[in-house]
């Protein structure tokens, strides 16, 4: 074995040893994230059974008009999808029956009216969406670089949740929301991205702040940066020293860790699936560690074990209740899976990744894509670039 290969294999073994005890480590250091029972954004649903070659089927929609940055999320307590749409709309889609039932939660013009109260008249654009609790959703608003709350029970459905409305992206921690509807914190939502909420009893909202190359946390009325410095670079290790390159997707494992996909295309890093294990907070801030679960930094869809696999702009990770992890290689439009004790990465809708690449993938290569799994374990992909919602599960 060549010396470089031997070093990489030893690194993989070391990472595997760390991951093998990660659940105990999370429990002992005090911050074990608990996925929300209201959402299906982590530790959700069973593993999938595929029959390669298997192509997804389009879902017929009557109300939702898919926009260029549209994203999808799933409820954890019903067979309901929530999606952001063109014109800054939000739609709930009940997929429990053969024909989906759609309910418009936020109509065109409502978000624009809210932004106008902050002096912003440019047309709004929504991307990431998540379930906050039994009554509310959160959505990313790109024009104002803010996070909005969507209340499903009020006539006025939208309000500011976090961030100071500003068309110029910023990077600042501080109050999430102050009197008058705006906070001191600043975000930079460059490109479609995700946010997720943990269990309401331990309420954390995590944000993949792509433009700032950072992971942000909203808790107890404040926004804090837990990893990332505002510049793209790659570094594992202690949380305070870790670096990310365009993080865009989040999920919570059953062990209470946070999974992050990053799609950065520069020499700084990116194209990896990372894992954050939070430790206790101290005088200097949030402690914890970051490890790479999959990806060697090369821009390609190639199978392999953990650090030997290659990922092409991975996005929208999803951890299942039986320890598999799914995501989409947005660069090639191919569904990926990581499973087993060696974190083996494959392309589950095809006999192998080479066949998937040859076929051109299942979704738009280079497109805006998001993945969601309902409580019963049905996988859906919103292909915003093709203006299509697709069901992956047969």
CA neighbours closer than 13 Å in the CB half-sphere of residue 357: 14
Q: Where are the domains of the chain?
A: 3-391
- Is the previous residue joined to 53 through a cis bond, with omega within 30 degrees of 0? yes
Class of domain 3-391: mainly beta
pLDDT at residue 341, rounded to an integer: 92
pLDDT at residue 23, rounded to an integer: 38
3-state secondary structure 111-165: HHHHHHCCCCCCCCCEEEEEECCCCEEEEEECCCCEEEEEECCCCCCEEEEECCC
pLDDT digits (tens, 9 = 90+) for 80-132: 999 999 999 999 999 999 899 999 999 999 999 999 999 999 999 999 999 99
Q: With CA atoms as reference, report the closest residue to 305 among 267, 353, 269.
A: 353
Could you say which residues of the chain have pLDDT below 50? 1-29
Starting at the edge strand found earlier in the chain, the sheet holding 57-58 runs 57-58, 388-391, 379-383, 369-373
Both tokens of 283, joined, read 């005088």
pLDDT at residue 121, rounded to an integer: 96
Both tokens of 139, joined, read 């959505």
Which alpha helices (DSSP H) does the chain contain, by range? 3-20, 22-29, 110-116, 353-359
pLDDT at residue 42, rounded to an integer: 87
pLDDT at residue 47, rounded to an integer: 84
- Rounded-to-integer distance, Cα 158 and Cα 103, Å: 16
- Give the global pTM: 0.91
27 SS3 class:
helix
Q: In Å, how far are 39, 72, 74, 130, 195 from 137, measured between CA atoms?
A: 10, 12, 11, 6, 11
pLDDT at residue 157, rounded to an integer: 86
pLDDT digits (tens, 9 = 90+) for 231-278: 999 999 999 999 999 999 999 999 999 999 999 876 667 899 999 999
5 SS3 class:
helix
- Rounded-to-integer distance, Cα 267 and Cα 299, Å: 11
Q: With CA atoms as reference, report the closest residue to 233 among 207, 269, 199, 209.
A: 269
pLDDT at residue 83, rounded to an integer: 98
252 SS3 class:
strand
Start-to-end CA distance of the chain, whole Å, equals 43
Q: In Å, how far are 18, 43, 129 from 76, measured between CA atoms?
A: 30, 10, 14
């Amino acid at each position: 074995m060549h010396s470089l290969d031997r070093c990489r294999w030893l690194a993989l073994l070391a990472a595997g040893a760390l991951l093998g005890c990660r659940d105990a480590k999370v429990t002992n250091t005090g911050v074990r994230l608990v996925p929300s029972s209201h959402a299906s954004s982590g530790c959700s649903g069973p593993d999938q059974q595929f029959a390669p070659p298997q192509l997804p089927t389009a879902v017929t929609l009557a109300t939702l008009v898919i926009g260029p940055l549209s994203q999808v999320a799933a409820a954890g307590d019903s067979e309901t999808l929530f999606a952001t749409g063109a014109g800054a709309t939000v739609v709930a889609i009940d997929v429990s029956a053969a024909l989906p039932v759609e309910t418009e939660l936020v109509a065109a013009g409502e978000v624009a009216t809210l932004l106008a109260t902050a002096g912003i008249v440019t047309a709004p654009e929504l991307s990431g969406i998540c379930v906050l609790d039994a009554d509310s959703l959160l959505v990313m608003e790109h024009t104002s670089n803010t996070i909005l709350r969507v209340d499903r029970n009020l006539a006025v459905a939208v309000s500011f949740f976090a961030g100071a409305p500003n068309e110029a992206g910023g990077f600042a921690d501080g109050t999430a929301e102050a009197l008058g509807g705006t906070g001191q914190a600043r975000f930079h939502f460059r490109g479609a991205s995700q946010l997720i909420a943990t269990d309401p009893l331990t309420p954390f909202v995590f944000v993949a702040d792509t433009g700032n190359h950072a992971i942000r946390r909203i808790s107890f009325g404040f926004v804090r940066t837990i990893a990332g410095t505002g510049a793209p670079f790659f570094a594992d290790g202690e949380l305070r020293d870790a670096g990310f390159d365009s993080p865009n997707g989040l999920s919570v494992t059953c062990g209470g860790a946070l999974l992050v996909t990053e799609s950065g295309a520069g020499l700084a890093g990116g194209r990896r699936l990372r894992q954050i294990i939070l430790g206790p907070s101290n005088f200097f801030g949030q402690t914890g560690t970051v490890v790479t679960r999959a990806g060697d930094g090369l821009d390609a869809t190639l199978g392999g074990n953990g650090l030997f696999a290659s990922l092409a702009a991975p996005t929208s990770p999803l951890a299942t209740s039986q320890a598999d992890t799914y995501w989409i290689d947005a660069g090639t439009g191919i569904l990926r899976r990581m499973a087993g004790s060696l974190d083996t990465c494959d392309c589950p809708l095809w006999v192998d990744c080479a066949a998937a690449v040859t076929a051109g993938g299942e979704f738009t290569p280079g497109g805006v894509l998001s993945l969601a799994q309902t409580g019963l374990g049905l996988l859906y992909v919103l292909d915003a670039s093709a203006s299509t919602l697709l069901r992956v599960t047969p």
